[in-house]
Every structure is written in structure tokens, then in C-alpha cells.
Amino acid sequence: MNDISIRIKELMEEMSPQFIETFRHLHKNPELSFQEYDTTEYIRAVLQELDIKILDIGLETGVVGLLEGSQPGPCIALRADIDGLPIQEESSSSYPSERPGKMHACGHDTHTASLLGAARLLASVRENLRGSVKFFFQPAEEVNLGAKKLVALGCMENPHVDAVFGMHNEPHVPYGCVAVKKGPLMASVDRINIKITGKGGHGGMPQKNIDPIVVAAAIIQSLQTIVSRNVSPIDSCVVSICNVKAGEGTVNNVTPEEVRMYGTVRNYSQDVQHYVEQRIRDIVEQVSAAYGAKGELEYIYELAVTDNHEQLFDIAKDAVESIGAEVFDPIPVTGGEDFSEYMKYAPGFLYWLGVRNEEQDCIYPWHSPHFKADERAIVIGAGTYAMAAVKAMEKF
């Protein structure tokens, strides 16, 4: 282990109380997507204290910081999301949210505290850094818009980012572990909006109508065959209709004119993604036509697959091992992450930070009002972020 790695490990132990204090402050003060004004000011104050340059790229909330090492080299970006959720906290935390109806129920406070910790670590060893580090404190991950906004405002340039690392907590991964996965870790996220137009009329005289509800039922049933009969069993895919709107109020004898349905598609392959879109379109249009109705599909590509870059796997793994944490081999999930937006412009790698601790009631899933993370994971998160930047600078 080289001198900088040893120093970072020493600093992790020395600074751990400060990391925990930061986490507790953030947990008590959650803010919703694109409303993270107090969080933004808090982050700016910490970065200014550390003499890390704040780059003005036009953000209202969120911060991009730049730490320049003593010698030229690659630019490595580290990303954390900062927004909370509109959930009333019901966890067993001894420092719960102080903002009614708002909670860090997805653990973005763990990410932000970890990245601020990494900023402290890296600022303390800047004289030994061969390159620069960009810190992305990103707003609005929960609405899938924050990363797109940062990229549109030029976060990946000036200086150009050579590699980007991100982190998300994972309540199924034990404290002390960090999940490191080569290849797809989180799925693509697509939105489907379906409109079926029939012919409304009296529910007691169906022969005079074209019932869009019957058409909708046929489409819902048919869509399930995409996964079971069109996609290879080797490939993972989800097609779910999660919302159906038909008729008005509690009216029980009127066939409506139209039905609207909303759903989601998840998978890990761009080829499968495009194929599934075409199959959904065929089913919506042709099943509707068979019943004499009109079916229309709006297919929205929201997030790409979070596909960890092969080039960064050894770096990512080495970083975790260098701080003494345990490498965990995870099973991918069909949740999505807008970290994938940065991966379109530079090699990227997303970690999962273990926050599970059954003895401390840290067992609940993301978005639960009972969600709670083992706060000690912040020290591991900070060290992993910092060491990933150092290791990437050495390799690039």
C-alpha cells in the first residue's frame, strides 16, 4: 500500500466523528428534488472551508466542486445525490427528520455525507494528488432529472472528466461491505403511456359500443407474453402496467370513450430495450384494431442501464480493499439510477454501500418510512470515494 493510501486510512479514523456529525445534520434536514437550497448552502460552506473551488455552471440547487492536485493528471469525478422524499419519517433513528413530511428515505444523506467526507480526505492529501477531482453534489435524482441537468450545464467538461464514480447505499448489503459489480448493476427505466380510444355508450347496450376497457384488459394480458415468450430466458426484463384510468367516479353503467394506462419497462440490454418497445407498440396497435378501437403508445426512454465499465472494475475493487472494507458481489436490481447519464460521456462505476445492521434496526428497504442506515458506513463510503479517485489517477 502506498503512502497516500496509508494516510487516507489514518485520516478516515481521525475524521470519523466529523463525518458522522455531517450525516446527522443532513438526515435531520431533508429537502425535496430541486428544492435543496439549505443542503446546497451547507455543502458550499464545507467546500469553501476546504479551499475547494466551486464551479458556477448555473445550478440553482446542487454544487460542483473542483479540487486540483499539486501535479497535472486526469480528472476523476465523484457523484452523490442530495434530495430526499415526501415521506413522514417513522424510523427508530435517534436524530429523525425535523421537517414534517420529508425524509431521507432513500439514504441520499449517506451519499452526500460520504462525499463530503471524501472531500475532506482528498483536500488533506492534495499535495500528493496527480490530477484533479470534481465533486458532483447532484439534485433531483428521485425525479430522474438531476444528472441530465448537470450534464446539460457542462459538468463533464472544463476540465474534461476521464472517469466518474458514484455510490448508493444498499440496505441488503451488510455494514462493513461495499458491493463491487462488473457490468450491469441497475436496470434501464422506460415509461409507457397508452391511450385506447373506443366508442362510449350505455353499459347495458354493449353491442352499440366499442368498449376500451375490454381492449385494455386484452392488451394487459398480451403484454405479459413479451417477457415470457419474446425475451430470452437468459435476459432479464420487466413489463408492468401500474396505473389504469377509465370512466368517471363511481359510474357503473356507462362505457367510457377511452382508457389510459401507464407502466414501466426495465431491462439490462439496449437490444432488448428496443425490441420490447416494438413489441409493445405492435400489441397496443394491433390488439386495439382487432376490437375496432384505436391504440396509441408513447414510449419514453428515461434512464439507461447503469452498466459498470470493465476498465474501472479493478480500480473500484482495489479502492475498497485498500481501506480495509469487504468486497461484496451483488445481484443486480431492476431499480434505475440516473448516474447512468454520466456514463454516456465517460467510463463510470457505481458502488453499493452496505448499511444493513439488524441489531440497530437498519433492515428496511428504500422509500420505507422506517428506512435507517448504519451511520458508521459513512466512514467507509468516504474512504471508498477518496481511494477510488486516487487509484483512478494512478491508473489513467
Residue ranges of the annotated binding site for Mn(2+) are 106, 108, 142, 168, 367
- Torsion sign (Cα): 229, 231, 235, 236: negative
Contacts of 161 (CB under 8 A, 6+ apart): 75, 76, 77, 134, 155, 342, 345, 346
Which residue numbers belong to the known binding site? 106, 108, 142, 168, 367
Q: Could you tell me which of 304, 327, 305 has the C-alpha nearest to residue 314? A: 327
The whole-angstrom separation of Cα 336 and Cα 303 is: 7
The one-character DSSP state at 227 is I
The whole-angstrom separation of Cα 99 and Cα 78 is: 28
**Bridging pattern class, strands 258-267 and 237-246:** antiparallel
Contact 115, 46 (CB under 8 A): no
The whole-angstrom separation of Cα 25 and Cα 332 is: 31
- The stretches of the chain forming alpha helices (DSSP H) are 3-28, 37-49, 108-124, 146-152, 212-225, 270-290, 310-322, 377-395
Contacts of 296 (CB under 8 A, 6+ apart): 194, 195, 196, 197, 284, 285
Give the helix/strand (H/E) hosting 258: strand 258-267
The whole-angstrom separation of Cα 343 and Cα 205 is: 56
One-letter amino acid at 258 equals E
The whole-angstrom separation of Cα 385 and Cα 374 is: 18
* Strand locations in 125-253 (E): 130-138, 163-174, 177-179, 183-186, 188-197, 201-202, 237-246
